Structures are given as structure tokens and as C-alpha cells.
Amino acid sequence: MQLTVPGSLGGERVDKAVALLSGLARSQVNHLVEAGAVRVDGHPVATRSRRLVAGEVLDVDVPAAGDPSLVPDPSVEVPVVFEDDHVVVVDKPAGLVVHPGAGNQTGTMVHGLLARYPELAGVGGDGTRPGVVHRLDAGTSGLLVVARTGEAFHHLVAQLGARTVERRYRTLVHGRVAAPAGVVDGPIGRDPRDPTRHAVVAGGKQARTHYEVVDRGSDTTLLACRLETGRTHQIRVHLAGIGHPVVGDVLYGGHPDLGLTRPYLHAFRLAFHHPATRERVAFESPVPPDLVEADARR
């Protein structure tokens, strides 16, 4: 959005003026100011209380409105373990796609959540994934948090950037991992040989995965992993990169052993600072039945 400040807005605070012009809540405008998305005469606004002068040029990077193709779908069952006016914590089952994308335009978690929480539409500025703060692969089960307000969204995204969100996963890998614990540190990007895969590549985005051994079998190892960053397929790529692909992960060299039809990967713990109360909250998810059965077959 760009306009020359008219006389009627001369002397008005920039946050109030942007809220009036864009229809956004003042809290969302404040986050835009903090992100440098509000500019006057080409210069980012340093404080939301700045007074506008008639004739100045105001530029605002307004978040996209909700995608009109995102029709709420109450038939999509989304297991919710916690909800309040600010956040929703979901225990996603394996097989449920988080948001629309290539080949998955309907029946996603977002469609189901919109039927239950219509106010999600437009939260976060990306019309195809309203409220989605972080994702899980379709084949991964477990916990993720969704923001119900713009303020909660920006606060949670900031926590991810500061690496204060705790995300722990249970996974079973091929082979016996020798060290009791370790860190895989390798940049991740698109696999230059296969665009459907990711890989550790020079020039990729920084990625760090911590792991510790929970139990060793004859030819498999049960691990608990903690994400320091959150790249696409990060745990799967990193563990395959050290020679221990996830059991059931055929994309990265694993085998569909133990009766599994998806990768053995479950997000069992999630902790963060509540965006409204600032208190630390934590949630845990039990291992789903298909992984329990795989454990019994080891």
C-alpha cells in the first residue's frame, strides 16, 4: 500500500493512520513497524508514535488477506490438545497435510481449523497457511502450535528465531548409532540432483539437530532428537547424512520395515513462552499406535 499523506491525516500517529487505512489491528501494525514494513519517504519508521506530515509518502507492506480458496471444511478432524484465545496446540496425526500446496488443495489441517476457528483467516500474512507458525511433514505425527491472532503469530515466530521453542522428536533409525549423543550441523537446501528432496549442501540454510540414544536394537537405534533450527525435512536429511536414515523413510534411504507405511518420526514434546502471559508452557504427545506396534516388532 502506498499513498501520499493527505491533509486529513497530517499530524496523526503513524500506527493509527495505517490501522485506519489497512483495516489491520493496531497490534498487527505495531509488529509491521518493528519489522521495518512501514516506511515514510522511503525510510523505515522507527517508532509507531511518529506523527505524519501532509505530503509525505507512506509505504506499508500489508499482509495478504486470506486465500478465498481456503473454504473451511468441518469434515477434517484435527485433534486439539489445548486452545485459548491466542493459540491452538494440535496433535497432528500422520497423513494429515498441514496446509495447501502442490497436489494438496483440500482436506488439510488448515481447512479443518478454519471451520472451528474462523478468525484464523489472514493471521500471519500468508493466505495459504493462516496461523501456521511451524510445520510437520505429512508423514510425521505430533505437536505443533497455531496462532489465533496476529500478535500471537509474531511473538511465536520471534521465539522460533531466538531458538527458545523446544521441539523434541522420537525417531527410529537404521543401524546402531555408536555415540550416546551428538549434534549434526550441516546447511540444508534443495538436492541439486532431485528437486523433491533436500540435502546437506554448500550454500544451504544453517541447520542443527541434537540427538541422544534412547535404546539400541540389533540393527536399529531409537533416538530422541531436538531441533535447534527448523528446515524442511531436517531430521530426516541430517540422520540420513550420517548414515542412519529414519526407518520407513523411503525418500531418504530408509526401508518400510516393521510394518510402517510412513517414516518413524513423532513430535512428542513442544514448549514455548505463551504469547499473552509470557509463561513457559509445555505439551507432550504419546507415541501413536503404529509406532508402538513397530517398536514391538524390533
Q: Which are the contacts of 275, defined by CB distance < 8 A and separation ≥ 6?
A: 86, 87, 147, 151, 152, 155, 156
Phi-psi region of 228 (alpha: psi -120 to 50; beta: other; left: phi over 0): alpha
CA nearest to 293, candidates 268, 257, 250: 257
Out of 137, 191, 249, 295, pick the active-site residue. 137
Q: Is the torsion defined by CA of 96, 98, 104, 108 positive or negative?
A: positive
Q: Is 137 considered catalytic here? A: yes
- In angstroms, the Cα distances linking 290 to 95, 119, 137, 297 are 12, 34, 17, 11
> Active-site residue numbers?
137
